[in-house]
Structure 1
Amino acid sequence: MPVTQDFVLSEQELALLPTDEEVEAYARNGWYLTRKLFTDDEVDELTAASERFYAGERSRTLPARPARLAYWQPEHGPVQRHNDYVHYESDDIARILRKPLIGAVAARLARAAEIRVFQSTLIYKPPIAGEPSNLVPWHFDRHYWQTCTSDDMLTAFIPFHDCGVDLGTITMVDGSNRWAEIGADDTTTRHFAQRSRDDLEVMLEQNAAHNGVEINKIPMLIPKGHMSFHHCRTYHGSGANVSDGPRRAISFHLQPGTNEYRRFELSTGDVVTYNHDVLVRRTADGRPDYADPEFCPVVWRDTVAA
């Protein structure tokens, strides 16, 4: 739910923002590893709040069930869990995610005066080495956000613990945000979970070859309280969890304040829809409003620039 918020950072928080050099590196590489942005207590509260969420606690529930909603429920069993709109359904989780420092880091990387939530997904990867759902094939998020006008959207991957290769951490394809894409067709608007892993691997290899580059896969080694950011055109994926504990995280998708809905039509004539389109309010001209404060609240605004 929208809340009144002051977008002010302390001197200590200002020191945690990306430097000019790090912002340039993000533009080149398509990813960024942060300093410690959450305290241990904040991360532990995310873990506790997620357990309450899995046990059925909700601050509110979605008013409708979008067709492509990812929403694990206990009857789905020990597969990788994805629960969209956790920032809407859990106030305890939203309060921590909307820490102004997180939005300020995103604003620096995206070079934006305002950052809003676009989506948030609570993720639980069980410690089952052979579980097929734990493997996330190569993809980039812009494919699934064709109804958005912005090419500068970005995602924070926020683990609730130290996160390394054994847990199946997120892995980036270095520099892929700058690739010229080939082989794109209407199927790219389908979520990676609906597509063949082999097809997505071939697409990655073809695009690397077209751009004359080697595929450089970089696993994100993320200490507790830190997080990674990646550009919406950065190829990424994750591997098996071969540890003895679950991998807990939130994928926090963010949009610049300039992002709006656009009509995107497939070659079949069908119009692409995003889950928001059946939930958010409408603009004056009848389009879904991706600035609806109920679902897409502001997490950072540069009041000086404004």
Structure 2
Amino acid sequence: MSVTPDFVLSDEELALLPTDEEVAAYARNGWYLTRKLFTDDEVDTLVAASERFYAGERSRTLPGRPPRLAYWTPDKGPVQRHNDYIHYEHDDIAAILRKPIVGAVAARLAQADEIRIFQSTLIYKPPIAGEPSNVVPWHFDRHYWQSCTSDDMLTAFIPFHDCGLDMGTITMVEGSHRWEEIGADDSTSRHFADRDNDDLEVMLARNAEHNHASVTKVPMIIPKGHMSFHHCRTYHGSGANVSGRPRRAISFHLQPGSNEYRAFHLSNGDVVAYNHDVLVRRTADGRPDYADPEFCPVLWRNA
């Protein structure tokens, strides 16, 4: 599955990169809306490939099943679907996700010389207004990436169509990545799906109050072929899909080249684990290697 990427942009692609002013705005706000990075044909390919994936098509399957793997199967019914490691299991989807401009934009925002894939999740939010699983509570990704050394990881949210309020688009809390956090404990190292929605609401409000900040929610109105990026400490969530058609997207988590595994201990001495830890190769000193090219390939490297 590992391929050698071409870290070159055309003049047209160079014009798609964030400006200095936009990079500064990302540092201030914690989110960024891109220009059109994918063609309509590329987005339509993602839709078609995702439908083949849901029908059972795989380029390969994971060599093991991590303990916290998000993996929808038809027997789970019409809930919101999440399928991790889509960049590993389906080559047609991976080929588009690994388009160099995506990594180059991430490198500009993170001010990093190298960007690697960390995780990718195929998402399908069914058009069922009252479906509880459609509502994603307020959270930030860094909480459940405690096994990582980097505080500059980021996520691209990539819808497969125009995505607005009626579809339950991703929504950011302005500037929340710059807040001093209070109330963190063992529970905050767990994925939001394993935490109480009301507790997450309270945590957001308390952290805003502690930082003398207002909770300014900014929904991402994303045209087809565009995407949003957000910082790993930016609070975000999403609401119900009331549009009458499915909301299809990929959550594309990215890591700077400097990111490594670290042992993060809970209060009882247990070490926090991420799904990679049972899949990736080991470093010379025996740690999970978050630079394993099979699962965490390089997306972009500055010349």
Q: Same fold (TM over 0.5)?
A: yes
Distance 1:37 1:47 in 2: 16
> Deviation at 1:4?
1.6
> Deviation at 1:5?
1.6
Secondary structure of the 2:87 match is helix
The residue number in structure 2 matching 1:68 is 68
User: What is the root-mean-square deviation in Å for CA atoms of aligned residues?
Assistant: 0.3
The residue number in structure 1 matching 2:82 is 82
The residue number in structure 2 matching 1:266 is 266
Q: How does 1:235-274 map to 2 (within 5 A)?
A: 235-274=235-274
The residue number in structure 1 matching 2:138 is 138
| Equivalent position amino acid for 1:234 in 2 | T
The residue number in structure 2 matching 1:182 is 182
> Deviation at 1:97?
0.0
**Which TM-score applies when normalising by structure 2?**
1.00
Distance 1:44 1:110 in 2: 29
Distance 1:107 1:62 in 2: 28
> Deviation at 1:201?
0.1
The residue number in structure 2 matching 1:224 is 224
Contiguous gaps of at least 5 residues in structure 2? none
Distance 2:5 2:211 in 1: 44
Distance 1:273 1:15 in 2: 40
The residue number in structure 1 matching 2:27 is 27
Bigger shift: residues 159-168 or 187-196:
187-196
Is 2:154 aligned against 1:154?
A: yes
Contiguous gaps of at least 5 residues in structure 1? none
The residue number in structure 2 matching 1:296 is 296
> Deviation at 1:113?
0.3
Once superposed, which parts of structure 1, at least 4 consecutive aligned residues long, lie more than 3 Å away? none
> Deviation at 1:167?
0.2
**Number of corresponding residues:** 303
Distance 1:82 1:147 in 2: 22
Q: Deviations over 1:54-113 (max 9, x none)?
A: 000000000000000000000000000000000000000000000000000000000000
Distance 1:293 1:79 in 2: 32
> Deviation at 1:118?
0.0
Q: Deviations over 1:215-263 (max 9, x none)?
A: 0000000000000000000000000000110000000000000000000
The residue number in structure 1 matching 2:95 is 95
Distance 2:152 2:203 in 1: 22
The residue number in structure 2 matching 1:207 is 207
The residue number in structure 2 matching 1:50 is 50
Distance 1:252 1:214 in 2: 28
The residue number in structure 2 matching 1:279 is 279
Distance 1:100 1:144 in 2: 27
The residue number in structure 1 matching 2:173 is 173
